[in-house]
Structure 1
C-alpha cells in the first residue's frame, strides 16, 4: 500500500510539474508583451494539423487572419514561434537583415540524410558556397540553352491529351507526369516517358517524397514541431530506398557521360562541370574540364538534382493544373490567351522558342495570378540566428525562434489585392506588382527560389502546348462546386484532382523546336 501511495505521489508530481512547465512555455509571448494566439495543449496552435483535420496552409492562413497586429506570437508544439504580418518587418527579415535569419529552420543530419544536403535545406557557409556555384546555372541564357531539351518532353503530353478528345481527363496527374519527365531529363540526364508509362520507376520514387501515408506525415510533423526530436529520433529526410535509387541514377549517368564523352545541354551537365572544375562554364561552353580534386561528391550532386523534385515536381504541375482550371471557368479569357499564342508564334515562324514564350505576356499574367490564388506551398520559414530587435519596437526575437510568413494570407488580403478571391490576371499587367502587394510564392531576399525562372518557363510551356491544340471546359464534378483541398497534403492539393473536358482544335501541332 505504501509503495502504491509513493507511485501515485511521484506520478502526481510529474503531472503537476509537466503542467506547470507547459503553462510556463505557453506564457512566453505574454511575458514578452507580444500579441499572440492562445495555444492548446500539447500542440500549440497547430493541433488541427497534427491530427490531420486541417492542412498547414489552412491553419497558417487562419492565424494570419486572426489578428491585425504586425507580428503575432504562435506556438508550434511547445516552441514559441513568430508570424510576421507587417510587410516592412517582413522585408527587413527577408532582405535587409538577412544575416540574422539565414537559416530556414530545417535540422536534418546530412550524414544520416545525404539528400538533405541540398540548396533548399542547407544553411550557413555551405549554403552560401552552393548558392554561389549554382546561381549561374539558372540564368536566362542557360535556361534558353536547355529549352529544346525541355520542349522535347512536350510531345508525349500533346499526344496523350489528344486521346481524350471530347472526354474528361484529370489534368493534375498528367501534368505531374510531364513535370517528372522534364526533371528526369534536365536534372538527372535521363529520358523517360511516364505519361505513357505511369509506373516508370523514376516516377514512383519521385512521388514518394509527397505521399500522405503515415510515415511521410509523421516525418513532416516531427521535423516541423521539434528539431530536437528530429535529431533524437534520427528522422530521415526521405526513405532510404529513395535515396539509394537517386544516387545510383546519378552515378550511372555520370559514368556513362564521362566514359563516352557525352555532352548535353542540361542541368546535369552543369553539375558535372561543378564536380570536375568547381565552376559553371560560360554560356556557350558546355564541355567538362576535369581536375584531380572533385569539388562535388556524388552525394552533393544527388542532393542538388533531388531538389528539382522537391521544389519543382508539385509546384509546376499544380500551377499548370490550376491555371487550366481557372481558364476553363473563364472561356473568354481562355480564347484571349489562345489568340495571344497564335499571334506571338506567327512572328516566330510558328515555332515555340524561349523568346516566343517570353513574349506571351497575358499567359505570364495568368501564371502569376494562378500562383497568387493557389500557392503550392503556403509558408516561408526562417529561423533567427542571433538575437534581433524588430525596427521601431522593443521586441527582441531570440536566437533559435522560428519565423513564419503566410503566403496565402496576404495574397488574399483585400488591403493588397482588390477582389482577392477572383481570378484577375490583368492585376499583374505591365508589371504593376508593388512592394506593398506581397507575392511570396518564390520567397524573397537572398534565399528566394533559385529555380524561379525555370519553374515559370515550365509552367508557361505546359499551358501553352495544350491551349494551342485544345480548348478546355470544367469537368462534371466541378460544375457549381468550389475546389476542396486535402488536409494531409503538404502542398495545396485538390481532393479528387482537377477534371477538365478537352476538345481538340483543328490545326497542326505546335511541337517544333527552336532552329529545327
Structure 2
C-alpha cells in the first residue's frame, strides 16, 4: 500500500504547485483568465485544437471582451501577460522598448550556431547588427533586386502554365527560394527547375522543426540555462551542417571575386573582416568583427524568413483572389493599366504606383498574419500606463498581432476579405499599432521591404498572365495547421491557372 501513499503525496504536491503558480496574477492585482490543471489556459493547444498563434489570439479576444486593458493567462504553469489596450501595446513595442528589448527565445551559439540569428539575438550584439542591416535593403538596392526578381517570374509563369491544378505553395516556395538565393547571396538555386531538392528539404527545418509544437513548448516553459545544460538543439545536425557548408562556400567564392555585388552576403562578410574597423550602433565605439558562425546564422535567418513568409503571403493572396473574382479582376485591371505606361515591364516604379495592390497585400497580412505573435521579456519592473499595476522584471509578455488583426473594434467582420479597409481614409481611423504584420518599433522586421517587393513582383507577373480559380482538389472549408509557429493551411492550396490575353503578353 506504500505506493498509494506515494501517489497521494505526489498528487497533493502537483495540486499545491499549480495553485501556487495560478495565484501569480491574483497576488499582483492583474485580471486573468481562469486556468485549469495541468495546462493552465492552453488546454486547446495541448489537445491539438489550435496553433500557438491562434491560442494567443483567442486569449487576446477573450481579454478584450472583458474590457481589461491587460490580462493574464497561463501556459501550463507559466504566467503570460497579454496586453490589449492600444496605448500599452505601443509603449511596450516603441516608446518603452528599452524595458522590453528581447524576444526571450532560445539562443546558444556554442551548442547551436544557427540559433544566433537576429531574431533571437539580444543586448549589445543585437544593437550593433541591427544598426548595420538596413543598408542592405535601401530603395536603390531594391530597384536592383526587382530586376533580378522579375527575371525569375518568367520561369514561374512557365511552371503555372500547365493546364492542371497546382499545389501553389510548393511552386511559390521554389520561386521565393530562387529569388532570395540570387538577390541576397548571388546563388543560382534553380529550384523552380526542379533542381536542388536537398535545399528545399533542409529549408523547411526552420519553421517545421525549430518552431514546431514540441520545441515551442520547451522554449516557453523551460529556462534557457537548463536547455543549454542539456545541449538542446533546434535543428537536426544534418540541416545545420548543410547550411554552414553552403554559406562557407559563399564566403570562399566571394573571397575569390574582385567585383562588388552590394548584397546582403557582402555586407555580412564585410562585418567579419578583422582588418576593417566598424563603428558600433552608437557611432562612437567600435564593434567586434563577426565570426563565421555569426554571419552564417544571419544568412540562414534571412534565407528562411525571406522564402517562407513571402511564399506564404503570396499563397494566401492567390487563394483569396480565387475566392473573390471581383477583387481579382479589379487588381488585374490596375496591373495592366499601369504596366502599359511602362511598356509592359515589371519595374520598381510601376509597382510603386499600384495602390489597389497595396490594399490587397495589407488585407492579406491582416487576415493571415504569418508571424502571429510578438513575444517580449520585461527586463525591469514596469508601471502599466493608466493603472496602478506593474509588470515584474523577467516577466513574459505576448502581444498577439493575430488577435489585434481579428479585433472587431478595428476590423469589423474580421473573417471577411476586404481590401477597402486599407484606403488612406480607413487607415487614418485606426490607432497606431493596430496593424502589426511585421512588428513595430526597433524590433520591426528589418527585411520587411524585401519581402513586400518579392511578393508583389510575383503577384503582378501571375495576375497579368492568368485568371486564378479554386481547384476542385481544394478541400473546403479551409482549416489551419496546429503544429507550427507560422500560419499554414491544413493540406495543400490547390488552384487552377487559366491563361488570359492582354497587351502585355508580348513582354513575358
Task: Quote the Cα distance in structure 2 between the aligned partners of 1:192 and 1:275.
Answer: 25
- Once the two structures are superposed, what CA deviation does each residue of 1:353-401 show, in whole Å capped at 9, x if it has no partner? 1221111111111010000011112111101111111012121111111
The answer as to 2:491 corresponding to 1:496 is yes
For 1:465, the equivalent position in structure 2 comes to 461
CA separation of 1:193/1:240 partners in 2, compared to 1, >3 Å: closer, same or farther?
same
Task: Quote the Cα distance in structure 2 between the aligned partners of 1:86 and 1:304.
Answer: 34
Q: Please give the secondary structure, in 1, of the residue aligned with 2:193.
A: coil
Tell me the matched-pair count.
492
CA separation of 1:230/1:47 partners in 2, compared to 1, >3 Å: closer, same or farther?
farther
- Once the two structures are superposed, what CA deviation does each residue of 1:294-339 show, in whole Å capped at 9, x if it has no partner? 8222112111111123422321111101111111122222121112
For 1:126, the equivalent position in structure 2 comes to 125
**CA positional deviation for 1:198:** 6.0
For 2:336, the equivalent position in structure 1 comes to 342
- Once the two structures are superposed, what CA deviation does each residue of 1:10-38 show, in whole Å capped at 9, x if it has no partner? 55434423321221111111121211112
Can you give the 5+ residue segments of structure 2 that lack an aligned partner in the other structure?
280-286
CA separation of 1:233/1:54 partners in 2, compared to 1, >3 Å: closer, same or farther?
farther
CA contact (8 A) 2:378 2:392 kept: yes
Q: Please give the secondary structure, in 1, of the residue aligned with 2:73.
A: strand
CA separation of 1:136/1:260 partners in 2, compared to 1, >3 Å: closer, same or farther?
closer
For 1:284, the equivalent position in structure 2 comes to none
CA contact (8 A) 2:89 2:433 kept: no
CA separation of 1:11/1:446 partners in 2, compared to 1, >3 Å: closer, same or farther?
same
For 2:363, the equivalent position in structure 1 comes to 369
Task: Quote the Cα distance in structure 2 between the aligned partners of 1:372 and 1:278.
Answer: 42
Q: Please give the secondary structure, in 2, of the residue aligned with 1:211.
A: helix
Task: Quote the Cα distance in structure 2 between the aligned partners of 1:112 and 1:272.
Answer: 22
Task: Quote the Cα distance in structure 2 between the aligned partners of 1:250 and 1:478.
Answer: 38
Residue of 256, 261, 266 corresponding to 1:264? 261
**CA positional deviation for 1:423:** 1.3
For 2:414, the equivalent position in structure 1 comes to 420
CA contact (8 A) 2:474 2:492 kept: no
CA contact (8 A) 2:189 2:195 kept: no
**CA positional deviation for 1:186:** 2.5
Can you give the 5+ residue segments of structure 1 that lack an aligned partner in the other structure?
281-292
For 1:283, the equivalent position in structure 2 comes to none
Task: Quote the Cα distance in structure 2 between the aligned partners of 1:368 and 1:210.
Answer: 23
The correspondence of residues 130-209 of structure 1 with structure 2, limited to 5 A, is 130-162=129-161, 164-165=162-163, 167-197=164-194, 200-209=197-206
Task: Quote the Cα distance in structure 1 between the aligned partners of 2:135 and 2:431.
Answer: 26
Q: Please give the secondary structure, in 2, of the residue aligned with 1:144.
A: helix
CA contact (8 A) 1:219 1:235 kept: no
Name the TM-score, length of structure 1 as normaliser: 0.89
Task: Quote the Cα distance in structure 2 between the aligned partners of 1:294 and 1:65.
Answer: 45
Q: Please give the secondary structure, in 1, of the residue aligned with 2:191.
A: coil
For 1:234, the equivalent position in structure 2 comes to 231
For 2:306, the equivalent position in structure 1 comes to 312
Residue of 435, 443, 467 corresponding to 1:439? 435
Task: Quote the Cα distance in structure 2 between the aligned partners of 1:460 and 1:40.
Answer: 45
CA separation of 1:374/1:511 partners in 2, compared to 1, >3 Å: closer, same or farther?
farther
Task: Quote the Cα distance in structure 2 between the aligned partners of 1:49 and 1:127.
Answer: 32
CA contact (8 A) 1:154 1:511 kept: no
For 2:478, the equivalent position in structure 1 comes to 483
